[in-house]
Amino acid sequence: MPNQEVNPSTANIVTKKTTREDGAVITNSGEQKKSSKNTPLATTQAAPTELSRSVIFLDREMSQIAFNWRVLAQAEDRTIPLLERLKYLCIVGSNLDEFFEVRVASLLAQNTVDGELVQHPNFQASLKRISTECHQLAQRQYELLNQEILPQLSKKGINLLRHSERNEAQRAWVKQYFEREVRPLLTPIGLDPAHPFPQVVNKSLNFIVSLAGKDAFGRGTGIAIVKAPRVLPRIIRLPDELSEKGMSFCLLSSVIHSHIADLFNGREVINYSQFRVTRDSDLWVDEEEVKNLRQALQGELQTRQFGAAVRLEVAKNCPDDLARFLLEQFSLSEDRLYPVDGPVNMVRLGELVDHVKQANLRFPPFSPKAIAKYSHTDIFTLLRKQDILLHHPFQPFQTVIDFIRSASLDPSVVAIKQTIYRTGMNSDLMESLITAARLGKEVTVIVELMARFDEEANINWADKLQRAGAQVVYGVVGLKTHAKLALVIRREEGGILRHYAHLGTGNYHPSTTRFYTDFGLLTAHPAMAAEVNEVFIHLTGLTKPKKLDYLWLAPFALQPQLIKAIRNEARIAREGRPGRIIAKMNSLSDESVIRALYAASADGVKIDLIIRGACTLRPGVPGLSENIRVRSIIGRFLEHSRIYYFRNDLAHDIYLASADWMNRNLFRRIEVAFPVLDKSLKKRILAEGLDPYLKDNMNAWVLDSNGHYERKKARGQQANFCAQQYLMQQLGSLSTADNE
């Protein structure tokens, strides 16, 4: 399971004009102009006070932390294989890193004047709540590691040894490893006026050392800093002949700890501790001044690692005086100090998972089944007959790769256009685009340089594409291009140009498609594919988009169209017929959309929301949201699909989308929601993307009106049902071998 958006799962470029994603209420064409006597407080047009907002909306940051508690519950689950439980611990660590790098950093930046935090009581109270929850979460994370997961792994023959647990032969080998591989790369820095506190890279492993005695020049410098080289592995496997049973490993931090005194010949090491600082990782570009986004971004990437500090992690036994010294150096208050009982970077324990190959400690192998009817058929011929719906990872992403590869080699294809948000460092799909450009096809790629934490990879691909002759566009400054679109144009019989399109809910990233759930639609529908082309023309030419009859395009029409569809269900309910909305996405926080959902609930619309991560809507509040239910699914795969379903008097309108219902998605990104028109494919989306998740009583968490989540359990004679397990069995090839 990836970073929860971990894999993710990202640092944003923030322009001068950017406001906080869940900040002031935005008035737009989607706002309700009149309020009836049946309209609850939440749907009135007046701007909410702090009190009213806290009553009708949940806190976004606390909701995000609650999501990480749900991920941690997977690590708590003893029915899950041990290595998978360890991976969930690492995911929580990665999620917390990003939470501090982005969310906490953003809060602090917006509430700082001349380098000093404002004293607004609500802001200070919010910081205190965040600190309390994050400290508790980190504490439980390390308790699970030390009290359950590592001891149980040891029973399985996988030993992560501290210095005190290593025998003489193992200690001798570790000493040799230190002298041979580690010491030559270390550069201890004794602090004095000529050697001030060094720049410490974001999330890097470092050591602070307290020294007694005089240095080589007769001075009493008392503090030194040692940086752990980033090129060294954090998990080191000892030779098998030194392991009494199974496999033995040690941490790089343990190796350095054990021999840190060897770095200070003639000095006495009094105390020491590992430490790690988390920094603000947002990238800042002045929209009014920047002339070349790529060059500006490359410059910012060089400084990202040294943003303002937001969190300090130290070893649990770090002496108070050293911890205070570090806090002072990083200008941090004591509540942002996190003493941990183990490695300061939990994420690096994922390397241990990679070392161990024992199948019984992992989830049973799963492979998506090849889609037989597509395998030996020309894909363009097939698409002229029918749309193809793909449900990843239960169906292979290879079909999408083959679509682009076939287009790159097909002499009838004259043009390929594609958006790229995340694609990874290695990508067959990108190589196909490069091949197409070299073969003389018109290749246009909109590369989103601001895809958080993927900026460097995207810059590299942009450079390769340009060298091959492709037209590369970097989206719109101030608006991330988050839409997932690909378009192929073929010259066919009679000289007619025909459009073929792929529209998706997830990234064109072959690796993440193996553990993210997403839908993709391949279509030759003339009008819809033509509208995809209009979106590309809009993005490359920066022209005003034409009126689109099929696609909902943000930031122009997506939010108004959503609210229109929600209000249509409310109208149907007021007229005495069933109103029904089901929506699935990563996060929900846009206040205007939430207000529309509240109004629909008051009119009797039955609403089910499947929100994996943060949700600021309060469900089940009498007079406000009693007809709204919210659940979150946390399982083997990261739920990433965005599905909008409106019953619409049995028309069963279904839209798939790249967008969550968040202010940033609806107003500060280029997003696309697209309809599924084929009735059989609509039934598939209901049967695969929504109904199983509403039935799930194993991986589902239900949100109450106070912001608390309770795990759903089978009751009475009800059978256990896991949506992801069901889909793996129905659509893929799941090993049934004993996994105990």
> Tell me: the pLDDT tens digits for 422-472?
887 778 889 999 999 999 999 999 988 765 656 677 778 888 999 999 999
Q: How confident is the model at residue 49 (pLDDT cuts 50, 70, 90)?
A: very low
Residues making up the binding site for Mg(2+): 422, 452
Q: Which residue has the higher pLDDT, 267 or 320?
A: 320
Element (H, E) at 301: helix 293-303
Q: How far apart are CA 330 and CA 337, in angstroms?
A: 11
User: 269, 209 in Cβ contact below 8 A?
Assistant: yes
User: 233, 355 in Cβ contact below 8 A?
Assistant: no
Element (H, E) at 702: strand 700-703
Q: How far apart are CA 3 and CA 93, in angstroms?
A: 9
Q: How far apart are CA 43 and CA 37, in angstroms?
A: 11
Bridge partners (DSSP) listed for residue 311: 278
CA distances from 67 to 236, 578, 698, 701, 712 (A): 32, 32, 16, 10, 15
User: 664, 14 in Cβ contact below 8 A?
Assistant: no
User: 386, 133 in Cβ contact below 8 A?
Assistant: no
Q: Is the pLDDT of residue 118 over 80?
A: no
Q: How far apart are CA 418 and CA 400, in angstroms?
A: 12
CA-CA-CA-CA dihedral for 661, 664, 670, 671, to nearest 10 = -10
Residue 669's Cβ-side half-sphere holds a number of Cα atoms within 13 Å equal to: 29
User: 672, 552 in Cβ contact below 8 A?
Assistant: yes
Calculate the CA 509 to chain-centre distance.
13
| Residue 356 DSSP SS3 | coil
Given the residues 482, 499, 525, 538, the one annotated as active site: 482
| Per-residue confidence (pLDDT) for residue 409, from 0 to 100 | 94
- The fold adopted by the segment(s) 1-59+551-740 is Endonuclease; Chain A (3.30.870)
Closest CA to 142 of 92, 70, 178, 99: 92
Q: Tell me how many helices (H) and strands (E) the chain has.
A: 23, 33
Q: Which residue has the higher pLDDT, 109 or 201?
A: 201
Q: Which residue has the higher pLDDT, 135 or 222?
A: 135
Q: Is the pLDDT of residue 124 over 90?
A: no
User: With the C-alpha atoms ordered 180, 184, 185, 188, is the resulting torsion angle positive or negative?
Assistant: positive
Q: Encode 366-427 in three state secondary structure.
A: EEECCCHHHHCCCHHHHHHHCCEEEEECCCCCHHHHHHHHHHHHCCCEEEEEEEECCCCCCC
Note whether 81-361 and 368-549 share their fold: no
Residues making up the binding site: 95, 422, 452, 516, 612, 640
Bridge partners (DSSP) listed for residue 703: 709
Closest CA to 264 of 228, 234, 226: 226
| Per-residue confidence (pLDDT) for residue 285, from 0 to 100 | 46
Q: What is the pLDDT of residues 571-581, one digit of tens each?
A: 999 999 999 99
Q: What is the pLDDT of residues 590-649, one digit of tens each?
A: 999 999 999 999 999 999 999 999 999 999 999 999 999 999 999 999 999 999 999 999
In terms of DSSP H, where are the helices of 17-104?
50-56, 60-76, 82-98
Range in 148-162, 317-331, 361-375 with the lowest mean pLDDT = 361-375
Q: Please state the pTM of the whole predicted model.
A: 0.88
Q: Active site includes 355?
A: no
For the chain, what are the domain ranges? 1-59+551-740, 81-361, 368-549
Residues making up the binding site for ATP: 95, 516, 612, 640
Q: How far apart are CA 160 and CA 239, in angstroms?
A: 13
| Per-residue confidence (pLDDT) for residue 591, from 0 to 100 | 95
- The fold adopted by the segment(s) 81-361 is polyphosphate kinase like (3.30.1840)
Range in 34-48, 251-265, 365-379 with the lowest mean pLDDT = 34-48
For residue 426, give both structure tokens. 């290695």
CATH number for the segment(s) 368-549:
3.30.870.10
AA letter at 62 = M
pLDDT, mean over the chain: 86
Say which DSSP state 661 is in.
B
The count of other CB atoms within 10 Å of the CB of residue 526 is 10
| Per-residue confidence (pLDDT) for residue 454, from 0 to 100 | 63
Q: What is the pLDDT of residues 372-419, one digit of tens each?
A: 666 556 899 999 999 999 999 999 999 999 999 999 999 999 999 999
- Helices 455-468 and 293-303 cross at an angle (nearest 10°) of 140
